Structure 1
Amino acid sequence: MNLQSYLLKNTRLPQKSIQNTVELLDQDCTVPFISRYRKEKTGHLDEVQIGNIVKFKAEFEALEKRKSTVIKAIGEQDALTDELRQKIKSSENLTNLEDLYLPFKKKRKTKAETARKNGLEPLAKIIMVQNHTNIGSVASQYVNKQVQNEEEALEGARHIISEWLNERISVRNHIRNQLERSGMLTTKVISSKKEEDKAQKYRDYFDWSEALKRCPSHRLLAILRAENEGFIRVKIEIDDEYILSKIAGRIITSNTSCTPYVRLALEDAYKRLLFPSLSNEILKAAKEKADDGAIEVFSKNLQQLLLGAPLGEKRILAIDPGFRTGCKVVCLSAQGALEHNETIYPHAPQNKSTEAIKKISSLCDAYKIEAIAIGNGTASRETERLVKRVHFKNPVEVFVVSEAGASIYSASKIARDEFPNYDVTVRGAVSIGRRLADPLAELVKIDAKSIGVGQYQHDVDQSKLQTSLDSAVESCVNSVGVNINTASVSLLSYVSGIGTKLADNIVTYRTENGAFADRSSIKNVPRLGEKAFEQGAGFLRIKNGKHPLDDSAVHPESYSIVTQMARDIGITISDLIGNKNELQQIDLDTYRTETVGIPTLNDIVEELEKPGLDRRQKAKVFAFDQNIRSISDVRDGQVLPGIVNNITNFGCFVDIGIKESGLIHVSNLSDSFVKDVNEHVHLHQQIMVKVISVDIPRKRIQLALQKK
């Protein structure tokens, strides 16, 4: 099996597309670059398809590396036959490979190993043949200083047979198949922990049982979390007698004096070795599958959050609300620079609301504020109501902004470097204001796991999660494009081919030499070579630069094509940009070359029609129901406005303007079957919901999506 066949089997993509994509990846091309600028090579594969090639390519390479290790280890034992070598090389997954390696693994001292040292392996072989009529007399021949009698000899032989059965691939696969088809996930509450307050959120899973294959990923992760926290015990159960009878039917070939010992060895192997190992394996596989599902949900949520509607370059007053410690207020320029900060105390215990209203009004007037951003944490609703009492001289839009992760950012090195002379409260308020202006530019500074849009993100494989989230951020950043003259190191580091070190070099060069005038001058950045320029240039934007295409997604390698198009029409490039009539008249076949085909030419024309267009929608003001101030105000049957603030596999959570978010279960999203929650709602979507039930003691609100 080679890489191409492995990728073909797992991705089911065209062979030529796979081959060319692998070549590009081996040339250190990035996924965003390949999907955007090498469509002719890949056969128009998108980022998801290319990402799958990356994933399975890494899997194949890890498998091949493990094969080499196994072959070397068995070879050092002088046990590597040509047949075994071929089986190892033909293995298509790690499970099969590890089964082949199992008999040769170095083991801790086992009962079987002790029996071998006592010379009992020949007796075990005789028993396994199952054709001796008086195995007791044969066993007496193996009595020695270490083996006191026939019973000890037979017991030792059984241990050896148990180990053989444990290592038999056909037996292991039979049990695996049965566990996959019929395994039951069962739980038992730990009685001493049952009444603890923290245990109550898991009470649905006390003494729980269901088919493992039908257990949804979110439930499995919740159950495993409850076990990790010490509230329940989890195990896999199956019809042991049925499995043993099926295996015995294959192993026991006669009815002689050997048969009872083979049966005892099988029962021992199953209970002591096979079932514990394989039930753990099957649970681990289910956990990995659940991890993948949760990670996919998190990545989708993160993408939606990062691509949230930006307000744009507006002068913003941002408020980080609070009660006792007051509300931190900052004024930001249209470019996000901090111009002023102070604290107001409109709420209890100070209750200086009149003074706060006057202060907000004067700040909005002095700094020509166009929008106000209010964090959605503690005292958010009270602060929003206060702001709406302010009489502004000029129109000011008021937004409630998610402040998830703002405290993480404010205490981070990035924040300290940006605002070394200000404390965490000021930095947090700045972050709230900036994420209204441009969520993507601000949120990339925060560890994605701290943003609060995941599903059991602390329970899943952290390495896989990080890889997936990094890919999601990279995809979003490159799909939008980055202004190289204003972007932070954090934002630039996600641009295709750049990374943290080059991003730092870009900002340093920009600080020392001023703004970049055109894309070609990017090459002057220290250590930014041709490869990095090729990968990143198309995603870096220069506003009002020397070249009219520098603020577009047209790659510099295609500038000559656009130049020729303009020349053929008899106008300048600047006049061609945005000229839909002229662009639609162009015969693209005229500009095809060996490397540039219709897909790239279509992308060029589409970009020229609307150069630098931000794919994101614009931010819209939203108002919660002012009569709902706490969960005690929520009643069954109410229809309320809300904002989707998290999406999971089992539904979505909706902010209705109070501390507790309500849940729309998948069954209440649509009258038909819901395969993917994202097909019905998206993060930060403004929707109307109907209250189904309210559980005040457990602080749970069940909602249904209100149909239009």
Structure 2
Amino acid sequence: MLITDYIFSHTQLPKTAIQNTINLLNDACTVPFISRYRKEATGNLDEVQIGDIVKYKEQFEALEKRKAAILKALEEQDVLTPELQQKIESTQDATALEDLYLPYKKSRKTKAEKARQLGLEPLAKIIMSQNARDVESVAFRYVKGEVNSAEDALEGARHIIAEWINERTDIRNNIRYQLERFAIISTKVVKTKEHEEDAQKFKDYFGWEESLNRIPSHRLLAILRAEGEGFIRVKIEIDDDRALNKIEQRLIKSNNDCAEQIELAIKDAYKRLLLPSLSNEALQNAKQKADASAITVFAKNLKQLLLGSPLGEKRILAIDPGFRTGCKLVCLDAQGQLKHNETIYPHPPKNDSTGAIKKISSLTEAYKIEAIAIGNGTASRETEALVRKIRFKNDIQVFVVSEAGASIYSASKIARDEFPNYDVTVRGAVSIGRRLQDPLAELVKIEAKSIGVGQYQHDVDQTKLKNELDTVVEHCVNAVGVNLNTASKSLLSYVSGIGPKLAENIVAYRDTHGAFASRTDLKNVPRLGGKAFEQGSAFLRIKDAKNPLDDSAVHPESYHIVKTIAKNEGKTVDALIGNSQVLQSINLKQYASDKVGLPTLQDIVKELEKPGLDIREQAKVFSFNQNIKTITDVQPGQLLPGIVNNVTNFGAFVDIGIKESGLIHISNLSDGFVSDVNEHISLHQQVIVKVLEVDLPRKRIQLKLHK
């Protein structure tokens, strides 16, 4: 099977589009570049469809690589027949491929291998033929050396037969089918750990039983975490009698002594080889599906978080609140540069609220502050209440900002390089302020999984998680675009075709030569060649550039098209930009060619209408209910404002202004059936919720989305 056929079988996308996309990927083109600037080649595929092509391309290549390794191993063993080679080369399933290889794997010394060395394979073949009338007398012929009795000989022969049964693809697939359809996952608490404090969070799973193919991803991951921490034991079970009966129907064709021996071998093969191996495989498959589901949830949340509403280039006073250690204040200019920092102590034990109010007031005037950002951690509500008491001379907006991952950033090498002369508390406060200005630019500095939006992110396949989250970050960065003259190395590294090393070179060049005047100047950056310029230049913006197209998503390769359009319309490029009346009247077909079709031309016109338009919404001020300070203030029936701070497959968690977040279970998102949480609610959405239940001992709050 060709790679295009393989990808087509999984995606049903047009084969021409698949092949053209593969060619572009092989030519070192990135997904954001292909989806945005090569629409004619791909048939206008979007990033998700191109991402699927990438995924199945990698799967196909990994499968072909494994086939080559297996064929080489079989050749070295001198057991490769034309028939076996044909089967291996034609299979398109990794599990089927491993089943074909199973009989030839060089494994540790098995019971079957030892029996073969004792010369018992002929006896096993006689039994499997089911023609011998007196098996015991036949077995006596093999009593010699280490084989001391007929029973020893029969036992050895059964070990060989058990191995043959284990290697039968049809038998393995039948048990796989039963595991897929009927398997039950059950748990049992480890008695010695049942009453440990850490075990109580898994109490619901101390005696759990559920169909493996129906268990929700979050529950399976929770159970596996509990098993990993040693609190429970997990077992996968099917109806043993039915499974054994299915095998017997395939193998036993007589009613004699041979049949009895085969029946014993079947039970041994099933209990010792087949069930342990295939039940573990079934659990791993379920884990992979749970991982994929959890990673998808995390990716959706991360995308929403990264594309959170920016306040923009405003002067910010950021506060990292605290009690005993005080509240760290930093003043940032509109570009996020640190201008001042100090600490105030408005809360216990010092209680210097008067001094704190005076200091905040004086700093807002001295640095012409336009907005205040308050971290949502310890002492956040108390600090917000304090700030809202202040009568500022100017209109200053107050925002509560998520601190998730700020401590990770403040202790990182990136933060140390940015602020080598300041401690972690100052760096953390700066991060809070910058998140208000531009969440995307700041959050890319933090390892994505440390931001903590999702479910069981530390339990899933970490390589797959990282790859998926890196893809999300790359998508968000390129969808928004990057200011070439202010972007950090971290942000630049996610730009299409750039990467960490070129990002470092760009910043170094900028530091040495000053701000970039045009996109063309990028070609002067060391090691930034033609391919990197092609892939990345259109995602980089230059504010107030001499060529206004340098602050747009129009690719430099299409500048000549814009100039031609402007000339034909009797306008300059400057006059054409933003002129919707003229742009909408253009007959684009006259500018189409073999290389540039209508999709690209339509994108160009759309961009010219609103060049550099930020796809994100503007940040909005939000206020919690000031009467709700602790969980004891929360009562059933209350309607409370909140902000969604996490979305999972089973519901959404909402910050209502106290330490404990409330849960809107999926069943309480709507009066009707809900299949996808994300269709009803999104991360950082401002909502009104109704309190259904407050469990004070467990510190849990059940909510309902109020329409």
Report the equivalent of 1:69. Answer: 69
Deviations 1:444-498 (A, max 9, x none): 0011111111210000000000000000000000000000000000000000000
Deviations 1:178-218 (A, max 9, x none): 00000001000112211122211111111100100000101
CA distance in 1, matches of 2:685, 2:312: 19
1:381-460 paired onto structure 2 within 5 Å: 381-460=381-460
Deviations 1:283-323 (A, max 9, x none): 00000010000001111100100000000000000000000
CA distance in 2, matches of 1:452, 1:389: 32
How far did 1:682 drift?
0.9
Report the equivalent of 2:95. Answer: 95
**Residue 669 of structure 2 corresponds to residue 664 of structure 1:** no
How far did 1:697 drift?
1.0
Q: Which amino acid aligns with 2:471?
A: S
CA distance in 1, matches of 2:397, 2:362: 16
Deviations 1:197-250 (A, max 9, x none): 221111111110010000010110011011111111101011101110111011
CA distance in 1, matches of 2:395, 2:56: 54
Q: Which amino acid aligns with 2:114?
A: T
Report the equivalent of 2:594. Answer: 594
Report the equivalent of 1:267. Answer: 267
Deviates more, 1:86-95 or 1:612-621: 86-95
Deviates more, 1:140-149 or 1:436-445: 140-149
CA distance in 2, matches of 1:476, 1:498: 15
Report the equivalent of 2:293. Answer: 293
Q: Which amino acid aligns with 1:501?
A: K
CA distance in 1, matches of 2:311, 2:661: 25
Deviates more, 1:186-195 or 1:618-627: 186-195
CA distance in 2, matches of 1:312, 1:257: 84
CA distance in 2, matches of 1:287, 1:6: 25
Report the equivalent of 2:163. Answer: 163
Report the equivalent of 1:220. Answer: 220
Report the equivalent of 2:30. Answer: 30
Q: Which amino acid aligns with 1:697?
A: P
Report the equivalent of 2:626. Answer: 626
Report the equivalent of 1:646. Answer: 646
Report the equivalent of 2:3. Answer: 3
CA distance in 1, matches of 2:55, 2:455: 22
Report the equivalent of 2:361. Answer: 361
- Structure 2 unaligned regions, length at least 5: none
CA distance in 2, matches of 1:236, 1:229: 19
CA distance in 1, matches of 2:651, 2:71: 47
Deviations 1:121-142 (A, max 9, x none): 0000010011111111211111
**Residue 499 of structure 2 corresponds to residue 496 of structure 1:** no
Q: Which amino acid aligns with 2:626?
A: Q
Report the equivalent of 1:78. Answer: 78
Report the equivalent of 2:524. Answer: 524
Q: Which amino acid aligns with 2:543?
A: K
How far did 1:546 drift?
1.4
Query: Secondary structure of the equivalent of 2:77?
Result: coil
Q: Which amino acid aligns with 1:536?
A: G
Query: Secondary structure of the equivalent of 1:643?
Result: strand
Query: Secondary structure of the equivalent of 1:652?
Result: strand
Report the equivalent of 1:277. Answer: 277
Report the equivalent of 1:112. Answer: 112
Q: Which amino acid aligns with 2:279?
A: S
Report the equivalent of 1:44. Answer: 44
- How many positions carry a matched residue from both structures? 707
CA distance in 2, matches of 1:312, 1:325: 30
**Residue 669 of structure 2 corresponds to residue 684 of structure 1:** no
Report the equivalent of 1:235. Answer: 235
Report the equivalent of 1:487. Answer: 487
Query: Secondary structure of the equivalent of 2:213?
Result: helix
Query: Secondary structure of the equivalent of 2:658?
Result: coil
CA distance in 2, matches of 1:433, 1:55: 38
CA distance in 1, matches of 2:331, 2:678: 36
- Structure 1 unaligned regions, length at least 5: none
Deviates more, 1:458-467 or 1:74-83: 74-83
Q: Which amino acid aligns with 1:631?
A: I
How far did 1:5 drift?
1.0
Report the equivalent of 2:192. Answer: 192
Query: Secondary structure of the equivalent of 2:517?
Result: coil
Query: Secondary structure of the equivalent of 2:395?
Result: coil
Report the equivalent of 2:251. Answer: 251
Report the equivalent of 2:57. Answer: 57
Q: Which amino acid aligns with 1:330?
A: V
Query: Secondary structure of the equivalent of 1:210?
Result: strand
How far did 1:700 drift?
0.7
Query: Secondary structure of the equivalent of 1:214?
Result: coil
CA distance in 2, matches of 1:544, 1:76: 66
CA distance in 1, matches of 2:110, 2:40: 59
Q: Which amino acid aligns with 2:71?
A: I
- Shift >6 Å, 4+ stretches: none
How far did 1:673 drift?
1.9
Q: Which amino acid aligns with 1:706?
A: H
1:557-596 paired onto structure 2 within 5 Å: 557-596=557-596
Query: Secondary structure of the equivalent of 1:52?
Result: helix
CA distance in 1, matches of 2:690, 2:188: 36
How far did 1:163 drift?
0.4
Query: Secondary structure of the equivalent of 2:684?
Result: coil
How far did 1:107 drift?
1.4
Q: Which amino acid aligns with 1:490?
A: S
CA distance in 1, matches of 2:632, 2:225: 30
Deviations 1:513-570 (A, max 9, x none): 0111111111110000000000001100000111110000000000011000000010
CA distance in 2, matches of 1:107, 1:508: 54
Report the equivalent of 1:510. Answer: 510
CA distance in 2, matches of 1:197, 1:665: 26
How far did 1:110 drift?
1.1
Query: Secondary structure of the equivalent of 2:200?
Result: helix
CA distance in 2, matches of 1:306, 1:386: 29
CA distance in 1, matches of 2:411, 2:638: 40
How far did 1:696 drift?
1.1
How far did 1:12 drift?
1.4
Report the equivalent of 1:149. Answer: 149
How far did 1:646 drift?
0.4
**Residue 127 of structure 2 corresponds to residue 127 of structure 1:** yes
Pairwise CA RMSD:
0.6
CA distance in 1, matches of 2:410, 2:174: 55
How far did 1:282 drift?
0.3
Deviations 1:253-293 (A, max 9, x none): 11122000000000000000000000000000000010000
Q: Which amino acid aligns with 2:251?
A: I
How far did 1:4 drift?
1.0
Report the equivalent of 2:208. Answer: 208
Q: Which amino acid aligns with 1:304?
A: Q
CA distance in 2, matches of 1:53, 1:253: 48
CA distance in 2, matches of 1:153, 1:337: 83
Report the equivalent of 1:312. Answer: 312
CA distance in 2, matches of 1:351, 1:603: 58
Query: Secondary structure of the equivalent of 1:213?
Result: coil
Query: Secondary structure of the equivalent of 1:343?
Result: strand
Query: Secondary structure of the equivalent of 1:596?
Result: coil
Query: Secondary structure of the equivalent of 1:334?
Result: coil
Report the equivalent of 1:181. Answer: 181
How far did 1:58 drift?
0.6
Query: Secondary structure of the equivalent of 1:76?
Result: helix
Q: Percent identity?
A: 70
CA distance in 1, matches of 2:697, 2:12: 51
CA distance in 1, matches of 2:274, 2:2: 32
CA distance in 2, matches of 1:340, 1:501: 32
